[in-house]
Amino acid sequence: MNALVLLTLILFVSMTIIGGKKGVRSFVALFINFIVLIITVLIMTDPSANPILLTIIACILISCTTLFFINEVNHKTKTAFVSTILTTVLLLFFIAFITERTMIQGFADEEIEGLTTFSFYLGVDFVKIAASVIIMSTIGAVADEAISISSPMFEIYRHNPHLSQKELFLSGIRIGKDLLGSSANTLFFAFFGGYLALLIRFKDLNYSFGQIMNAKVFRAEMVTILCAGIGVALIIPITAFITSYVLVKFEVGKEQ
């Protein structure tokens, strides 16, 4: 039996037993997101398609699945959705600038070794692709934080409807700050785990500190880690602001 199939089965069974209906929905959401990702990459092969625009569309679809399908369509998930998309778009411009500056696009020597039979004359703008990789790897964490901040803010407002927008904003920041450490860690360790092989290679081949710092593949990893960290921090004030604005301006929290 295929290892992937068996792991998928185990994941499905444990999600169903522990999560019930919501567990099944979460599993289906993973599957949908996988399909969205593959289709996005397939469309990216067309050089006339703008990878940045495609990434934004993919992020919208992915956050829809994560927020609306696993949870449900309500004011909490809607504000989380708007915050996620706004953060993603803001971040995307910053990341596109950084990838251009750090020249991390495309492939490094280490990655190209096994791919010599391939044609690299692809005509697709790999600077934009590099930016899209970074944003896609943080979208899960950003959406998660958005809902984890907006949802308790609605609860706070429901219990204390007299709070001002500023007070609500500050309580959102407080909630977010408590989440920051573990969200950042989730991403950091995921990246560390993925990069372990490369670190071993660097150490095996006795790369000097300066060589590691300037090696394209290491640069790309560091840029990903740092941008992901910036992303999980930026979503906090953005979500806190949008949620407090929506709560006070439209008084949506009261009707629930």
Partner 1 sequence: MPLKKQLASLWRIRVSFLLLFLAFVGSMLFVYHNHSFYEDAIVEIVETSLEDRTEVTDGYDNQDIIFTQHLLGELRNGDYKGESIYIVHEYTASGVYHPEFSVGDELFVVIDQPLAGEMLTGGILDVKRDQDLLFLAWVFIFVLLIVGKRQGFLAVISLFVNAVIISYALDVYIHTSNIRLLLMMGIAVILMTILSLLLISGFHERTYAAIVATLLGTFLLLLIAVFVLWLTEEQGLRYEEMAFLTRPPQTVFVAGLLVGSLGAVMDVAVTISSSLFGLYEKNHSISNKDLKSSGMEIGKDIMGTMTNILFFAYVSGTIPSLLLYFMNDAPLGFALSMNLSLELTRALAGGIGIVLTIPIGLYTTIFFVNRKRVKV
Site for partner 1 in 225-254 (CB under 8 A): 225-230, 233-234, 236-237
Residue 220: both structure tokens together: 């790309």
Contact region for partner 1 (CB under 8 A) — 4-12, 155-163, 164-172, 247-255? 4-12
Q: Give the whole-angstrom CA distance, residue 8 versus residue 10.
A: 6
Q: Give the whole-angstrom CA distance, residue 132 versus residue 128.
A: 6
Which one of residues 173, 207, 241, 245 is an interface residue with partner 1 (CB under 8 A)? 173
| Residue 249 C-beta: closest distance to partner 1, Å | 23
Q: Give the whole-angstrom CA distance, residue 56 versus residue 229.
A: 19
Which one of residues 56, 78, 86, 140 is an interface residue with partner 1 (CB under 8 A)? 140
Check residue 136 for interaction with partner 1 (CB under 8 A). yes
Instruction: Work out whether the CA dihedral 144, 147, 149, 151 comes out positive or negative.
Output: negative
- For partner 1, what does the binding mask look like between residues 66 and 85, x meaning CB under 8 A? x---x---------------
CB 252 within 8 A of CB 246: yes
Check residue 101 for interaction with partner 1 (CB under 8 A). yes
Check residue 178 for interaction with partner 1 (CB under 8 A). yes
Contact region for partner 1 (CB under 8 A) — 6-14, 154-162, 164-172, 247-255? 6-14
- Pick 106 or 254: Cβ nearer partner 1: 106
Which residues are CB-neighbours of 29 under 8 A, at least 6 positions away? 65, 66, 69, 70
Residue 13: both structure tokens together: 């069974």
